[in-house]
Amino acid sequence: MRGLSIHQAPPFQIIALYFSTACVFWFLSSLLELFLFFKKELNLPLLVHSHVVGFALMTMLGALFQMLPVVAGAVISEPLKKAIPLYLALLLSSLLFLDGFLLKKERFLLFGATLLMLSIISAVSLMLYHLLPKKSFVPTVRGFKFSLFFLLVATFSGYLFLTLKEPLFFKIHYPFMLWGWIGGLIASVSFQVIELFYTTPPYPRFFAWYFHILVSFFLIFSLLGESFLYRLPLSILYIIYALTTVYLLLKSKRSVLEYTPKFWLLGMGLLLLASIFFVFGEFLAFLVSFVLFSSSIILGMMQRIIPFLVWFHLSGFGLKNAPLMFEIIPPSRQAITFYSFLILCLSMPFALINTNFLIVSIILHLFTASVLLFNVLEGIGIYLKYVKRGL
């Protein structure tokens, strides 16, 4: 029955920690790309995991701590006492895990992977424990449950692949992680955010309600054979989702100055590409497009969530004329991240054709990550400034 209370609202420190760490990871991954470029080494597992674990996982778990009480009424009591140890465990295990890939030391990698798996299981168990008893009145809440379950499957299968070297586990690991966890969670969020924040028509009810069930079936179906036909249903589902989202965004009645809808549109374009590359078995192109898709959505949403929560908490503390969102991350600074990221995306096909061109994409990544990190830290700094001086 306890749905919401201001005392139960997640403290700003949680999202600030998770998001700022994710931005640091994204920045470090661009430095890592630079290092590997000059070493003339393409360490794909390291690069992909620095994005998926360091950037995406940290962001998405942080966001879930915020969204569970707001969207689902799943209130985690004493959230700081749970979120901070989980954060430390995730941070330490992610670093060890990525170091294992970097140093190519099997024992190091397995140790890091074991710790990371335990951290993820702890985080997912905590969230599902509070989420599962809540009735899913809307597709978003149901989507959260499915996405967290997909994360568990992806984590277990990844760990089993590392330990047993059985290819089947890799075949389970990456689609469950990308399509199930990342794609599934982004879709869950979009089912509410797009309509509400941009005054668009809603997603077709039937589509949103059964989306994650279909993802489950099609994920399993994709494992049954090697032919492209087995991957086709999953791709078609995500193509329909991406096209629907684009259609809805174009129907938006809002005249906004900020760049989040553009990040969503760009993200959906990249998702379409990822879906097509997935069907045709173009693994590298699929991975690149999918990682860019998820990064686009995260870039857009993170630069909205941080300023909103800074304003919301300061205003909730009774600060009159608390800085507005535009004063915390102005649209002009959000625009820098959008355009640099857009050029990064456009540079990628050239980089895939000629690896010498990678340096351009890496520098653009480094630049975008630096501005994002600055924007997020600046927002957190504004919050801390007011809190430290007693508002």
Chain positions contacting other proteins, by CB under 8 A: 1-6, 9, 70-73, 135, 137-138, 140-141, 192, 196-197, 199, 253-258, 304, 308, 311-312, 315-316, 324-327
Closest approach of other proteins to the CB of residue 172, in Å: 32
Name which of 194 and 362 has its Cβ closer to other proteins.
194
Name which of 4 and 84 has its Cβ closer to other proteins.
4
> How far is the C-alpha of 348 from the C-alpha of 343, rounded, in Å?
9
Contact (CB, 8 A) for 43 and 102: yes
The neighbour count for residue 6, using CB atoms within 10 Å, is: 6
Task: Please report which helix (H) or strand (E) contains residue 101, including its range.
Answer: helix 79-103
The neighbour count for residue 331, using CB atoms within 10 Å, is: 15
Closest approach of other proteins to the CB of residue 51, in Å: 27
Name which of 4 and 42 has its Cβ closer to other proteins.
4
Closest approach of other proteins to the CB of residue 6, in Å: 5
Name which of 105 and 205 has its Cβ closer to other proteins.
205
Closest approach of other proteins to the CB of residue 386, in Å: 16
Contact (CB, 8 A) for 125 and 76: no
Name which of 199 and 356 has its Cβ closer to other proteins.
199
Closest approach of other proteins to the CB of residue 196, in Å: 4
> How far is the C-alpha of 109 from the C-alpha of 102, rounded, in Å?
9
First to last CA, the chain: 33
Q: What is the dihedral of CA 246, 22, 181, 30, to 10 degrees?
A: 70
Name which of 141 and 380 has its Cβ closer to other proteins.
141
Closest approach of other proteins to the CB of residue 79, in Å: 16
Tokens of 17: 């920690």
Closest approach of other proteins to the CB of residue 151, in Å: 22
Tokens of 328: 């915390």
Closest approach of other proteins to the CB of residue 204, in Å: 16
Name which of 111 and 326 has its Cβ closer to other proteins.
326
Name which of 70 and 88 has its Cβ closer to other proteins.
70
The residues, any chain, with a CB within 8 Å of residue 210's CB and separated by 6 or more, are none
**In sequence order, what DSSP letters do the residues of 253-316 get, joined into one string?**
-----SSHHHHHHHHHHHHHHHHHHHHTT-HHHHHHHHHHHHHHHHHHHHHHHHHHHHHHHHHH
- How many CA atoms within 13 Å lie on the side-chain side of 204? 9
> How far is the C-alpha of 283 from the C-alpha of 50, rounded, in Å?
18
Closest approach of other proteins to the CB of residue 252, in Å: 8
How big is the chain by its Cα radius of gyration, in Å? 20
Name which of 27 and 338 has its Cβ closer to other proteins.
338
Closest approach of other proteins to the CB of residue 331, in Å: 9
Instruction: Name which of 267, 291, 380 is nearest 57 in CA terms.
Output: 291
Name which of 35 and 247 has its Cβ closer to other proteins.
247
Distance of CA 61 to the CA centre of its chain: 8
Q: Please report the sign of the dihedral spanned by the C-alpha atoms of residue 281, residue 282, residue 283, residue 286.
A: negative
